[in-house]
Amino acid sequence: MLPRTPQNVKPTINRLLAQLCPEAQDRIFPHLRQVYMQLGDVIYEAGEDLDYVYFPVDNIISLLYVMSDGGSAEIAVVGFEGVVGIAVFMGGESTPSRAVTQSAGWAYRLPARDLKEEFEEHSGMRMIMLRYTQALITQMSQTAVCNRHHTIEQQLCRWLLLSLDRLPTNQLTMTQELIANMLGVRREGVTEAAGRLQKKGIIEYSRGHITVLDREKLEALSCECYGQVKRETDRLQSFPEPLGEPL
């Protein structure tokens, strides 16, 4: 399937960009550039200075912590609800995580200096970014708890639900090997867990394509970690009106 044309991929599909007031959008949008990200594209490596931040529209980017032996595990997923590159406005300039495209699609790229300028000079952008960062920290914390205390099947359910919340469809293109790398578990464990979900009629898996058939049952089988992340994300991104100019 061919990707949607850039004309149909508006910046305001991204929740953070949509929350900006018209004046803030007028300052930021001229600096945005559309970029198409293929599955597996590395957005940045651990330790690199970040020259750009990325606002996903219909793709998902995974943040991975990479060990010295090359092993990795996913610490968060970012889709149209967020931005990749929070170190830019948090003052770190670089991050110990790697960012990789988990689901192909479009995003908007913004030079880091433009985001920093807006963040420092206008309270609207500052509020939006800090509240999003709090939601992202919640997701990272809950992921750590989930990986330590819950079964592979529960982790897989959580991961599928978080991914679905960040895509416009109920389909994912993802191999079991890549899922195992994301969760930091053995591929055999993912194969068994996915097989059980398929037998229950919850998902359909074929040649790297996962279709969720029964989301309600998927949520019932997931641990409380998914619900906690979703509630906090929704709470922190529920603004009554666009934010923009300082008081």
pLDDT in tens, 46-76: 888 899 999 999 899 999 887 777 667 788 8
Nearest to 172 by CA among 222, 237, 230, 104: 104
Single pTM value for the model:
0.85
Beta strands per DSSP E along 24-71: 33-37, 42-44, 52-56, 60-66
Which structural domains are found in the chain, ordered by start? Answer: 10-144 (2.60.120.10), 148-229 (1.10.10.10)
pLDDT in tens, 89-134: 988 777 888 999 988 889 999 999 999 999 999 999 999 999 999 9
> Is the four-CA dihedral 172, 229, 227, 124 of positive or negative sign?
negative
CA angle 176, 182, 188 (to 5 degrees): 40
Radius of gyration (Cα) for the chain, nearest Å?
Answer: 18
pLDDT in tens, 187-210: 787 788 888 888 999 988 887 788
pLDDT in tens, 156-172: 888 888 888 887 777 77
Neighbours of 117 (CB within 10 A): 15
Contacts of 240 (CB under 8 A, 6+ apart): none
Token pair 């590159």 is found at 85
Token pair 């049952």 is found at 217
Nearest to 73 by CA among 134, 8, 24, 143: 143
